[in-house]
Amino acid sequence: MSPLVLIFEGLVAVLMLGAGVMCWRVDQRLKSLRNGQDGLKATIGALNDAVDRARASLAALDRASREQGADLKQRVEEARRMADELSILTSAGESRAERLAQAPRRREMNVEPGRPVRAREPRQDDRPASAEPASGRLLEALKTLR
C-alpha cells in the first residue's frame, strides 16, 4: 500500500466518522421531534376535549337563556298589566278625591252636582268645628297617596 492510498483511506475514514456523527445527531433530533409530536398529539386531544365541553356548555347556556327569557317576558307582561291597572285605579282615585274635595264646597253653597253654582256666604253653623280638621286631614292623606 502506498502512502497515498493510506492517506486517502484515512480521509475516507474521517469523513465516514463525521457522517456517522451527523447521522447520530439527526437521529437524536428526529427522536426529540417524535417525542414533541407525542406531546403535541396529547395537547391536541386535550384541546379537542375542551372544545367539546365548551360546545356542551354553550348549548346549556342557550337553553337556560331561552327559558329565562321566556320567564322574564312573562313577568314583564304581567308587570305591564299591573301598571296599567294601577294607572286606572290611580286616576279613578284622583277623580274621587277631587269630587270629595269639591263636595264640602257644594254643600257650603247648596249646590247639587250638575246644577250651576250660586254664590252664598258660608254659615258657621253648617258644619261642626271638629269635622273640619278631620276632613282636611283626610283630604291631605288622599293627596299624599297620589
Q: At residue 104, what are phi and psi to the nearest 5 degrees?
A: -60, -35
CA distances in angstroms from 118 to 74, 103, 105, 108, 109, listed in the order given:
54, 14, 11, 10, 7
What digits encode the pLDDT tens for the residues 49-64?
999 999 999 999 999 9
| Closest alpha carbon to 111 in 124, 99, 128, 97 | 99
How far apart are the C-alpha atoms of 121 and 116, rounded to whole Å? 16
What is the per-residue pLDDT across 62-117, written as a single tens digit (0 to 9) for each? 999 999 999 999 999 999 999 998 989 888 888 888 888 887 665 555 555 555 55
For position 110, what pLDDT does the model report?
57
Q: Are 111 and 117 in contact (CB under 8 A)?
A: yes
Q: Answer whether 122's CB lies under 8 Å from 108's CB.
A: yes
Q: What is the pLDDT of residue 123?
A: 52
pTM for this prediction: 0.38
Question: Given CA atoms 79, 85, 87, 89 in this order, what sign does their dihedral have?
Answer: negative
pLDDT of residue 15: 95
Of 103, 108, 130, nearest in space to 118 by CA = 108
